[in-house]
Chains A and B, each alone.
Chain A
């Protein structure tokens, strides 16, 4: 919930329409959203759940003989992928609640009368969602450290988790915000966003031994999640350079540009009291 946004005092704000014209409104709103997320206990609770899951996966990986006998890089890769997946899920949950949650709690009206543009509202919501991703990444550092320390790939694993995770989190959090803005019910928004994430992550669970032809390769590259994770694996496990198979980065970049662009272009029409038009 976001109420009582204070943009006064920054010395430069109101245009003739009463809206923030300096572009700093989203920063103020982003800071307010982050405070709401973290001080209300919602963010720390999500991080706690994420850390419990990461603990389980890391411990099982470290004690599993099947993984232990051979390739430490595989184990590091598994935990990096899991950390990215959980961090993205957390960011998506927060963004999917962004507009539809405000509507359902009846606080969107208050937010709309604050002197910030609707695009700034969306940018603020996106900032809060991404703050959860960044916190998730920080939480995942000790888990990656404990597994990657002995192989000398800790720096690489962290850099990959951060860069690719940020790309995917930004893209999917933008999609979550779009879904949220288009949903009247918060349940619909959350269910739709989580279902989308599950669909995108499903191909990562296909056993590697299965025959995978060109169609599977196309599916992997079109899907922003699988393509980012495949590029991480190629570097961490197979030791390839980041410049090899750069085509894997196309779909994550497209989803960021497409979803964030849609929010920027249609922002004013998306943030309304009811989804799909009506008042607001």
Chain B
């Protein structure tokens, strides 16, 4: 009686095991980000660096390292493309190797933001999905700034047309008097 039950249980286990999707192990990589905090002004550029270390005894294979930026106070809509034109870098690390990646960023919104880097195993869509390795958060505080001279523009915008209007009127009156 117990033998058929055991056989049935084994069969079920095999079936379930084969039906469940395989999950890839996350890359054996640690990520350290520097600096951990940035204070800057709107429009200014800065660089953050991330150091990736392969902690396993084997090659990591091809890895995709991707930068992302999010608003912490939710006041600004963040389009990461505007912040950094190159947000993805491909690397592969040998056992114990570490490499530092630089990310050029420009602050295009004011407020509080977070930047972080995600490490994904590169490969096709049919590769098994798996967990990611994420860097610690880098806090970015961006102070507002007005780069254009609005008051100067107003003065020029009023004075020039007034002068030219006066000139046009004088020319018109002179022409009419002559005619």
Contact = CB atoms under 8 A, between A and B. Distances in A.
A92 interface: no
Contact of B148 (A43, A55, A68, A139): A68
B47 to A, nearest CB: 18
Interface stretch (B31-39, B130-138, B168-176): B168-176
A2 interface: no
Interface string A19-53: 00000000000000000001111011101100110
A146 B161 contact: no
Interface stretch (A59-67, A119-127, A186-194, A263-271): A59-67
A146 B168 contact: no
Nearest to B108: A70
A55 B108 contact: no
A75 B152 CA distance: 14
A58 B148 CA distance: 10
Interface in B152-175: 152-158, 160-161, 164-165, 167-168, 171-172, 174-175
A233 interface: no
A55 B156 contact: yes
Given A44-B171, A147-B148, A69 B157 contact: no
B148 A72 contact: yes
A150 B149 contact: yes
B43 interface: yes
Contact of B153 (A40, A41, A62): A62
Nearest to B157: A55
B150 interface: yes
Nearest to A56: B157
Nearest to A142: B156
Nearest to B110: A69
B147 interface: yes
Contacts of A69: 42-43, 108-110, 147
Contacts of A58: 153, 156-157
Contact of A149 (B149, B155, B175): B149
A71 B150 contact: no
A164 interface: no
Contact of B161 (A55, A63, A145): A55
B153 A147 contact: yes
Contact of A146 (B42, B147, B149, B164): B149
A7 B43 CA distance: 60
B161 A67 contact: no
B168 A47 contact: yes
B116 to A, nearest CB: 23
B149 A62 contact: yes
A143 interface: yes
Across the A-B interface, the 4 shortest Cβ-Cβ residue pairs: A55-B157, A62-B153, A44-B168, A41-B172
Interface of A: 38-41, 43-45, 47-48, 51-52, 54-56, 58-59, 61-63, 67-72, 75, 139, 142-143, 145-147, 149-150
Given A41-B172, A58-B157, 14 more contacts: A39-B175, A44-B171, A45-B172, A51-B164, A59-B154, A61-B153, A63-B153, A68-B148, A70-B43, A70-B106, A139-B160, A143-B153, A146-B149, A149-B152
Interface of B: 42-43, 106, 108-110, 146-150, 152-158, 160-161, 164-165, 167-168, 171-172, 174-175
